[in-house]
Structure 1
Amino acid sequence: MKRVSILFVCMGNICRSPLAEGVFAHIARESGLADRFKIDSAGTGGWHQGKQPDRRSIAIARAHGIDITGQRARRVRLEDLEEFDLVLAMDRANIAELRAMAPGAGNITLFGDTALQTGEDIPDPYFGGPEGFELIYTRLLTGCIALVDKFGADQASLSGNTSSVR
């Protein structure tokens, strides 16, 4: 069975995208579906390469039982846009930068479109306080649950397993 590969992308890969990666991995593991996915995160900028996620992302993840301290920021590579099945950008500015890198890529989409089906941007909480991180955690949680349900169920039905994700 082919694993679904998903890359979460934000600007610096220290706030939104590492939190999305951690939340998704946690949900997939808790659902018994972790082996059906390959996930990662990256940023359109390289300012924080090699660094841990922002301390506030780490704190909000930890408050919800998720450990993202092992992640390290990295910049999106052109190969990522070719290799991942789905590249989920947190906002429209990220979409524009990704499409400038790979104009013909059909796998680049807005997290708010694909996961939330609202078309909303996931706002960058970097310059705000803890409440912004709680807000994005809630939106990412909602979207990641939907993604695991959708792609986990799709993969299960392809393999003949019709059991529920939850």
Structure 2
Amino acid sequence: MTSVLFVCLGNICRSPMAEAVLGHLISSRADTDAWRIDSAGTGAWHVGSEPHASTVAVCQRRGVPIRHRGRQLTGSDFTRFDHVLAMDKQNLHDLALVRPAEATARIALIGSFDPLGESEVPDPYHSRDTAAYEAVFEQLERCCRAFLASLR
């Protein structure tokens, strides 16, 4: 089984979108059942919340199902998942601060897989412009495709 955890600050915009995108990309593969995909936030502000309305709208427009409730990262996530993929350098720094000594997960920026070289996924949370969410979706789709290719 391959397991991936996407991490952002609040777990209502970028990381649940990444979770949905990767899930959609593998949904047509023969090994769909061999994957565990989840997302979490470094902060607890949105625990139990549904994804941001713009995140849901963009995913729906793209035909990508999204079902998630916000949750906070836990210490056990570092051993439960093979890959912990952060959205930006601050998230990566926060992961390093809470990573337990027994961690086995590979920790990286999801943007490190971006063929366009955009290493950080910008947080669209404060944007009133749906285009910001569309751009995040496009970047995450590129990154997730490249991530999958890197596992072959």
Normalised to the residue count of structure 2, the TM-score between the two structures is 0.91
Unaligned stretches of 5+ in structure 2?
none
Q: Is the 8 A contact 1:43 1:73 kept in 2?
A: yes
Q: How far does residue 146 in structure 1 lie from its aligned partner after superposition?
A: 1.7
Q: How far does residue 101 in structure 1 lie from its aligned partner after superposition?
A: 0.2
Describe how 1:55-94 pairs up with structure 2 within 5 A.
55-68=53-66, 70-94=67-91
Cα distance 1:119–1:107, how it changes in 2: closer, same or farther (>3 A)? farther
1:146 maps to which residue?
146
- 1:18-47 deviation per Cα after TM superposition (whole angstroms, max 9, x unaligned): 000000000000233322311100000010
Q: Is the 8 A contact 1:15 1:57 kept in 2?
A: yes
- 1:128-166 deviation per Cα after TM superposition (whole angstroms, max 9, x unaligned): 110110000000011111222333xx3xxxxxxxxxxxx
Match of 1:41 among 3, 26, 39: 39
* Root-mean-square deviation over aligned CA pairs: 1.5
Cα distance 1:66–1:119, how it changes in 2: closer, same or farther (>3 A)? closer
- Structure label with greater radius of gyration: 1
Q: Does 1:107 align with 2:112?
A: no
For 1:142 and 1:32, the matched residues in 2 are separated by 21
For 1:31 and 1:123, the matched residues in 2 are separated by 29
For 1:26 and 1:110, the matched residues in 2 are separated by 20
Aligned pair count? 148
For 1:137 and 1:146, the matched residues in 2 are separated by 14
**Percent identical residues:** 38
Q: For 2:91, give the aligned amino acid.
A: N
Runs of 4+ residues deviating >4 angstroms: 103-106
2:126 maps to which residue?
127
Local SS of the residue matching 1:74? coil
Normalised to the residue count of structure 1, the TM-score between the two structures is 0.83
Q: How far does residue 83 in structure 1 lie from its aligned partner after superposition?
A: 1.8
Unaligned stretches of 5+ in structure 1?
155-166
